[in-house]
């Protein structure tokens, strides 16, 4: 086996380039899709792996009037970074940082009586009303209050707390289960139930600032679901919620992240040579192998072993053998790029590179998971700030 001696030239082992101009353009596109509704930029899970704070700032610059996070800690981090606009967080457990979140002026989601009790107690201690958004379970079967007696109890208790000056009910909201499956019967059923639950709450005296149920797929395909606000998550980052409804270009979106690595080693091997753990790939003949220094610790899915696509010197190559913790191998055939040459795992696709959706198909998952799982060892490099 002969190892080439050309030194590696790239300054970084790997990088996730985040194009903030693309993100801003996506926000403007989503605002156009939103039929006059306000746009919430969802930056949970560190901005779907893109970096919450830089993406939040760019989204606000482009006209997003709300930011959304899953956890209160994520919301408080945005406040600490100097973001002063409307922020909402929705994933709570008992004993959470209610008071800090109230004092930061963050809207909190309430799905049941235990949460309302905790938030009103925290508001009493803070000496200021909590901004509360009541979540309705219209059919997802996850978070949210059930319709009927449970919803009536929650709405009534929230109104009593509002009269006491402990809360301000700022929103009524829900979440779709199947908006990414066009024509699914649950879509209309959830919309009907949401309207009914909103009508009941407003009939009891709730005066919300915003009513919202639309996620990314509903923003793009269901104008009747837009109400006052749409919550855009994956679409913000230029990825389609589902191939079934169309690709990013079909909606005027551009993927924001490009993941690349510098080839660490290039070497010649004979035919019949096993590659990586378990020798699940054996070279069919004399060939050149390239070592790409990222692995499942960096978020490269092990399930894409033998199938994950990579662009090297203008040609698509496939992961040869198993993805390891820190590295994987590609069979370069007769090509011999120098160590340090760029291997592009995914990006917008306009240079011929694979996309996050290509990796999702290779790994049997969704593109959301591909971008969100990219680990902290991979530096985010922001361009077009």
Class of domain 34-237: alpha beta
Task: Report the topology of domain 256-383.
Answer: Lyase, Ornithine Decarboxylase; Chain A, domain 1 (2.40.37)
Q: How many CA atoms lie within 13 A of 302 on its CB side?
A: 9
Q: What is the pLDDT along the chain (385 residues), one digit of tens a residue?
A: 333 333 334 468 999 999 999 999 999 999 999 999 999 999 999 999 999 999 999 999 999 999 999 999 999 999 999 999 999 999 999 999 999 999 999 999 999 999 999 999 999 999 999 999 999 999 999 999 999 999 999 999 999 999 999 999 999 999 999 999 999 999 999 999 999 999 999 999 999 999 999 999 999 999 999 999 999 999 999 999 999 999 999 999 999 999 999 999 999 999 999 999 999 999 999 999 999 999 999 999 999 999 999 999 999 999 999 999 999 999 999 899 999 999 999 999 999 999 999 999 999 999 999 999 999 999 999 999 8
The pLDDT value given to residue 91 = 98
pTM value is: 0.94
| CA–CA dist 259, 61 (Å, integer) | 25
The pLDDT value given to residue 11 = 61
Q: Can you give the three-state secondary structure of the chain, one letter per residue?
A: CCECCCCCCCCCCEEEEEEHHHHHHHHHHHHHHCCCCEEEEECHHHHHCCCHHHHHHHHHHCCCCEEEECCHHHHHHHHHCCCCCEEEECCCCCCCCHHHHHHCCCEEEECCHHHHHHHHHHHHHHCCCEEEEEEECCCCCCCCECCCHHHHHHHHHHHHHHHCCCEEEEEEECCCCCCCCCCCHHHHHHHHHHHHHHHHHHHHCCCCCEEECECHHHHHHCHHHCCCEEEECHHHHCCCCCHHHCCHHHHCCCCCEEEEEECCEEEEECCCCEECHHHCEECCCCEEEEEECCCHHHCCCHHHCCCCEEEECCEEEEEECCCCCCCEEEEEECCCCCCCCEEEEECCCCCCCCCHHHHHHHHCCCHHHHHHCCCCCCCEEEECC
The pLDDT value given to residue 12 = 84
Catalytic residues: 44, 277
The pLDDT value given to residue 302 = 98
**34-237 and 256-383 have identical folds:** no
| CA–CA dist 156, 128 (Å, integer) | 20
What's the order of all strands across the beta sheet hosting 229-232? 210-212, 167-173, 130-135, 107-110, 86-89, 66-69, 38-42, 229-232
For the chain, the structural domain boundaries read 34-237, 256-383
């Amino acid at each position: 086996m002969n190892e080439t001696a050309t030194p590696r030239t790239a300054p970084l082992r790997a990088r996730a380039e985040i194009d903030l101009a693309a993100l801003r353009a996506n926000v403007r596109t989503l605002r156009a899709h939103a039929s006059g509704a306000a746009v919430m930029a969802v930056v949970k899970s560190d901005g779907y792996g893109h970096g919450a704070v830089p993406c939040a700032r760019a989204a606000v610059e482009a006209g997003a009037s709300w930011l959304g996070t899953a956890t209160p800690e994520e919301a408080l981090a945005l406040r600490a970074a100097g973001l002063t606009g409307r922020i909402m967080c929705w994933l709570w457990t008992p004993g959470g940082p209610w008071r800090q979140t109230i004092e930061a002026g963050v809207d909190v989601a309430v799905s049941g009586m235990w949460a309302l009790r905790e938030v009103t107690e925290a508001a009493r201690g803070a000496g200021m009303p909590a901004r509360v958004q009541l979540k309705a379970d219209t059919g997802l079967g996850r978070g949210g209050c059930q319709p009927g007696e449970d919803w009536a109890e929650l709405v009534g208790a929230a109104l009593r707390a509002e009269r006491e000056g402990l809360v301000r009910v700022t929103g009524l909201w829900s979440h779709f289960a199947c908006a990414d499956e066009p024509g699914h019967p649950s879509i209309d059923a959830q919309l009907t139930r949401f309207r009914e639950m909103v009508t009941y709450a407003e009939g009891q005296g709730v005066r919300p600032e915003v009513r919202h149920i639309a996620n990314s797929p509903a923003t793009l395909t269901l104008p009747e679901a837009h109400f006052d606000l749409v919550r855009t998550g994956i679409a913000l980052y230029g990825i389609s919620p589902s191939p079934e409804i169309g690709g990013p270009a079909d909606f005027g979106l551009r993927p924001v992240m490009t993941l690349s690595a510098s080839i660490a080693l290039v070497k010649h091997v004979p035919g019949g040579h096993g590659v990586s753990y378990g020798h699940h790939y054996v070279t069919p003949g004399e060939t050149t192998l390239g070592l790409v220094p990222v692995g499942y610790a960096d978020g490269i899915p092990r399930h894409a072993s033998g199938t994950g696509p990579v662009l090297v010197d203008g040609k698509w190559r496939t992961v040869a053998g198993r993805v390891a913790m820190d590295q994987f191998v590609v069979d370069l055939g007769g090509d011999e790029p120098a160590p340090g040459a760029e291997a592009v795992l995914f990006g917008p696709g306009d240079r011929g590179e694979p996309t996050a959706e290509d990796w999702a198909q290779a790994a049997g998952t969704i593109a959301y998971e591909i971008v969100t799982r990219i680990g902290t060892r991979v530096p985010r490099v922001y361009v077009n700030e």
